[in-house]
Chain A
Amino acid sequence: MSDCLLPTMCTITGRKQDTADVFTLSIDPPDGEFPFEPGQFNMLYIPGVGESAISISGRPAEANKLVHTIRAVGDVTRLLGIRETRERIGVRGPFGTGWPISQAAGKNVVIVAGGIGLAPLRPVIYAIADRRDDYGDVSLLYGARTPADVLYREELLEWKRAGVLDLAVTVDAARSDWSGDVGVVTNLVGRIHSDPAATVAMLCGPEIMMRSTARALLDIGVEEANIAVSMERNMKCATAFCGHCQLGPYFVCKDGPVFFYPDVAPYWQQREF
């Protein structure tokens, strides 16, 4: 059995600056192929600095390319941001649970993302786009800080044009040249007109955003067992050895990051839990 704590050094093959503090790295995967489930994450490693848990944001069908969209907020992620193509970084994974894509087949899909939370959901959209006829209505409700922080702008517009999904974007703050919505992403839940009883929702963003969005979805009749959320906790090992990501009965790295609403909602009520 391979050692789950050892990274493999891999070469960066592409780098794109998405927004002021978000960038996307393409990496030559270990062993040439890297099958993963949408929603899973890797530990990316910079020798001498450390590891950081980063969700996989590429196309599941393209296993020969490993893609991560990263927001530069900590030591490791800032340094990942100044790595150039042909440089090498360590990769360990994939870890964790995936989004309920098979559960969503034959149903309507509502994807709700806040900020960088869109990154772990992009593989879901790729998977849906590849088999669009398997799903009913698909909507993406996306909240960003400002219009300049909207991720994957061209791709989103292309998916909208191609009829892959209905797109609604809102921002926290904008200047007068923004004609779209301003406010929290929860406000967009009212735009959903598909049958809520036959809808699977997938949420990723700050905990408070997922909490209020889940409530809004429940209010319009989406079943709680059909609401999936991706949780964030400190992660050091990703293998349930280090104890940092413990959340009630779960290790978020192993039992999550993707959970169903009834599994984690009780803990959202507890401050600092």
Chain B
Amino acid sequence: MVHWSPADLDALLCQLRDEGFRVIGPSVRDGAIVYTDIDALPVGVGDDQEAGRYRLRERGDKTRFGYNLGPSSFKQYLFPSREELFAYADGDIVPAPLDDEKLAFVGVRACELAAIQVLDRVFQGDGFKDRRYQARRQNLLIVAVDCSQSAPTCFCASSDDGPGVGEGADLVLTELLDDGEPSYYVRAGSERGAELLAASEADAASPELQGRARAVVDETREGLERLLPREGLRDALLGALDHPHWQELAERCLACGNCTQVCPTCFCSTAVEETDPVSLRVSHVRQWDSCFTAGHSYVHGGPVHAGIASRYRQWLTHKLASWEDQFGRSGCTGCGRCISWCPVGIDLTAEAEALRRTP
């Protein structure tokens, strides 16, 4: 456990780059926090979120992690939104080279880390393994951060996925604030993380600092405004497949698929063929798909999920219920993105509660 200044944090980013990592983390773009290649962390940025609403604001301090989740998740770096699986050229299948670049994710929140672990179960769990995902995942270094504030859309504590970072990160930071000046309580979560800490020349953290870090997380947890109690939720939803509320929901839902695109665990994809008209090289590309499209459930004769009600039901019952049967846990880590980025402000926690109630 050490105590870092913002300069120590900057030094970590440099060190990671020097070690050949591609450093991915938060930056401000188009009025939102997004994950991109970074040289430095944004300073003094906060956000205001509500159902159907997301705005950045100046905090008037020097925090590096004073905002919550933006629309992009780390999913896009482990499972890219578009990716060639193979090509067909000169009469043969040519596998796309495996992308084994060393990635370092910086500023990974607790619910984000949990979401990565959900994707691990999808792409490298008990069944088939996706070699592309495995190649990226095995070199991944995770620098996580406890949340020192929550958005009104957050509900991570409902599934114990946050706001404190759980197992699986290499380094975990807690941002502490003294008169607008941040510092960091840092601990290692892996051998690799311990090596990084040993290499830094920072002071060891005092027990008092550890207590403050714990208090930050506790305060955040207590400040959470939304909850989605998970007890009995799976059975309640699967028992409510003919609930009239699905139809009521369908009258508000636009089937735009935003919720599935911002969700850090939605993994649906489709495959498209792209042929170069000159060389006739065919590229077989996997790209993100959404269960809100008619094509998603198409079989000969028409889509199985013809109406919006059945598409929303597919999404919600998969995410919060049948995911448990398939992967041993809920598909939702409580990040709240689907609430903020729904253009009509549908709140899945409220919808799930409504579906729990007998009509």
Question: Which positions in A face B, CB cutoff 8 Å?
Answer: 1, 3-9, 47-51, 73-74, 88, 90, 232-234, 236-237, 239-244, 246, 248-251, 254, 270-273
Contact = CB atoms under 8 A, between A and B. Distances in A.
A232 B86 CA distance: 26
Contacts of B317: 248
Query: Which of A3, A233, A243 gathers most chain B CB within 10 Å?
Result: A243
B93 A1 contact: no
B306 A234 contact: no
* Secondary structure class of chain A's binding surface, majority of residues: loop
Contact of B269 (A241, A250, A270, A272): A241
Given A47-B282, A237-B271, A251 B299 contact: no
Nearest to B291: A243
A3 B131 contact: yes
B269 A242 contact: yes
B122 interface: yes
Interface in B61-119: 85-86, 88, 91-93, 95
Nearest to A206: B301
B282 A48 contact: yes
A227 B314 CA distance: 26
Given A47-B282, A272-B305, A9 B269 contact: no
A251 B291 CA distance: 14
B229 interface: no
Interface residues of B, number: 47
Contacts of B310: 271-273
A246 B127 contact: no
B300 interface: yes
A47 B229 CA distance: 48
B94 to A, nearest CB: 10
Given A3-B131, A249-B326, A272 B270 contact: no
Given A241-B123, A270-B241, 4 more contacts: A47-B282, A234-B304, A236-B271, A246-B318
B273 interface: yes
B299 A233 contact: yes
A241 B122 contact: yes
A151 B317 CA distance: 39
Interface string B301-317: 00011110110011001
10 contacts: A4-B129, A48-B275, A74-B300, A236-B269, A236-B270, A242-B269, A244-B268, A244-B270, A244-B297, A272-B309
Nearest to A5: B85
A126 to B, nearest CB: 26
Contacts of B93: 6-9, 90
B242 interface: yes
A70 to B, nearest CB: 12
A83 to B, nearest CB: 14
Contacts of A8: 93
A242 B289 contact: yes
Given A47-B88, A47-B282, A241-B123, A5 B130 contact: yes
Contact of B297 (A234, A237, A270): A234
A50 B304 CA distance: 21
What are the 5 A-B residue pairs with the smallest beta carbon separation, nearest first?
Answer: A249-B325, A243-B268, A272-B310, A47-B88, A239-B128
B96 to A, nearest CB: 10
A244 B296 contact: yes
Nearest to B275: A48
A234 B298 contact: yes
Contacts of B227: none
B238 interface: yes
Given A249-B325, A271-B310, A240 B282 contact: no
Nearest to A232: B299
A90 B271 CA distance: 15
Contact of A251 (B91, B241, B326): B326
